[in-house]
Structure 1
Amino acid sequence: MTVTYVIAGTRIHTLEDFWDVVGETIGSDGYFGRNLDAFADCLRGGYGTPEDGDYLIEWRDHAVSRRNLGYPETVRQLELRLAHCHPANREHVRADLAAARAGKGPTVFDWLVRIIEEEHPGGLRLA
């Protein structure tokens, strides 16, 4: 039987809000980690999602999340990343940050959708 996890898009205003909502909805005992790599691990199974991969993520009110996780939030997240990243990654993060400030490139919303699509193809319904 397919398990459906419902993400309440109206509760998501920042990436940190997304981690809270997903932790409550999908995570193992409400927690799976608070970064993109941990999210990908969770989607592979065994950290809140069924190991057999028989689940669907329904992202309700995704348009609200898409707007809230747009370029301003992407700039904020990239600024945080730049402050803590390894020196070898700084130039790449600076380039991504410049693009986001110009309203170009993927947004935080795009990052999350890409991870879901890569780790669980066909398992996302945007509602």
Structure 2
Amino acid sequence: MTVTYVIDGSRITGLDSFWDVVGEAVNGPGGRFGRNLDAFADCLGGGFGTPEDGDFVIEWHDHARSARALGHEETARRLEARLPRVHHSNRARVEEELAEARAGRGPTLFDVLVEIITERTGPGTLRLM
């Protein structure tokens, strides 16, 4: 039986609230489902609230509002916070990504989250509504 998880995009105001909303959608009130991009990708593989067999659907309601909240401004804010901790070998790349985000170009956090979901789950798992 397919399980459906509903992400209430109207509650997403940035990446921190995304973690809260998706955690509750999958694991109930106060639930967790990753608190960074790598952990989120791992959780999508099953066993952290989703069925091991991968038979689930994610309905992302009001995704356009989420896309704005997780847009270039939030992306730049996250990159700025990450920059002091970046290994020197990755610094130039992150600085370039930051410059692009500040200019309103390049992938946003929303784009990255959608990519993670589509790459880590089966076709048709993500439904943007």
Q: What TM-score range do you get, normalising by the shorter chain?
A: over 0.9
Report the Cα distance in structure 2 between the residues aligned to 1:81 and 1:27, rounded to whole angstroms: 28
Q: Does residue 26 of the first structure (1) align with residue 21 of the second (2)? A: no
| 3-state SS of 1:6 partner | strand
How far apart in 2 are the matches of 1:76 and 1:10?
A: 20
User: Hey, what does 1:64 align to over in structure 2?
Assistant: 65
TM-score, normalised by the number of residues in structure 1: 0.94
User: Structure 1 vs Structure 2: percent identity of aligned residues?
Assistant: 64
Moved over 6 A (4+): none
- Identify the residue that residue 43 of structure 2 maps to in structure 1: 42
Q: Return the letter of the residue paired with 2:126.
A: L
The whole-number CA distance in structure 2 between the counterparts of 1:31 and 1:113 is: 18
Q: Distance in 2 between matches of 1:80 and 1:105?
A: 18
- The count of aligned residue pairs is 127
2: CA distance, partners of 1:83 / 1:16: 19
Whole-Å Cα distance in 2 between the matches of residues 27 and 105 of structure 1? 32
TM-score using structure 2 length: 0.93
**For residues 16 and 84 of structure 2, what CA distance do their matches in structure 1 show?**
17
Gaps of 5+ in 1: none
State the partner residue of 1:10: 10
Q: In structure 1, what is the Cα distance between the partners aligned to 2:76 and 2:93?
A: 14
Residues 37-96 of structure 1 show CA distances to partners (whole Å, capped at 9, x for unaligned) of 100011111111111000000000001001111111011011111122222211111010
Q: Secondary structure at the match of 2:31?
A: coil
Say which SS state the counterpart of residue 58 (structure 2) adopts: strand
Unaligned runs of 5+ in 2: none
CA RMSD of aligned residues (A): 1.4
1:85-113 Cα deviation digits (max 9, x unpaired): 22221111101001111111100100100
